[in-house]
Amino acid sequence: MRIIKKSKEINSLFNSIRRTGFVPTMGSLHKGHESLIKKSIKQNNITFVSIFINPKQFTNKNDLINYPRRLNDDIKICKKLKVDYLFLPSFKEVYSWKMKMKKYPKIKSIMEHKYRKGHFNGVLKVIEKLSDIIPANKMYLGEKDFQQLKIIEDYFHLNKINTKIIKCKIIRDKNGLALSSRNKLLAKKDLLKAARIINFIKKNILKKKPLNDKIKIVKKYLKDSKINFDYVKNINIKNFEIEKKKTKYSRFFIAFYIKNIRLIDNI
């Protein structure tokens, strides 16, 4: 595995290689990231992974300060998986990259955009840079951050970027909780508490009741458990509108807090 820190160096590689996959991350890698990397390695000749904690997508300074950083462990994971190139740029290296202006898609004020103003603009700014520095054939993104994935898809489509986005299923712990770097900030008992919430939602969805009743039941469960939450929504993943009934194109989306750590999921 080759570690690269300079944008021009990594960009120049594309003159000589074909069938490339790219997994952009903010580090603190877990089994979910590993599944993306393994899929890229299987489908491509060369796999690139980037680790860059993007300050522009954090709407809370403490969240940025406390974001888990485990670079030495991340490097070991990438080596073990036989990643070809690991890109470890500085802030200046990413944001000084010169490129033509791109168009940004309109973002609906729903869910993450409603509660984290400016977050997706920060995401698009870094994706704009990274996808130009690493113009891979395929980019691998997890469905846990589904709204983010949809917005990046819209950005690629709007700007006619040739990179194909490969959607990858959510990887969960054995207790049912979606894997996340932020999970590492929680104690085992808190992770079990978070898992109970997700499992309660899964069971509730299967009940033969009107959708509104199901949402009310989930919200009551959260309030009774003294769990703060931003939203519990049933969303059509095709058009990202609120769906009034559960269909094959809709998912339950939730954002909740355990010990001030914000977790998101969709089921």
Q: Which residues form the catalytic set?
A: 33
Task: For residue 61, give every residue at least 6 positions away whose Cβ sits within 8 Å of its Cβ, in sequence order, or none.
Answer: none
CA distance 92 to 48: 20
Question: What is the SS3 assignment for 221?
Answer: helix
Distance, CA of 63 to CA of 55 (rounded, Å): 10
Please report, for residues 108, 114, 120, 232, the alpha-carbon distance to residue 117 in angstroms, rounded to integers and kept in the order given.
Answer: 11, 6, 8, 18
Cα dihedral angle (21, 156, 256, 262), rounded to 10 degrees?
A: 60
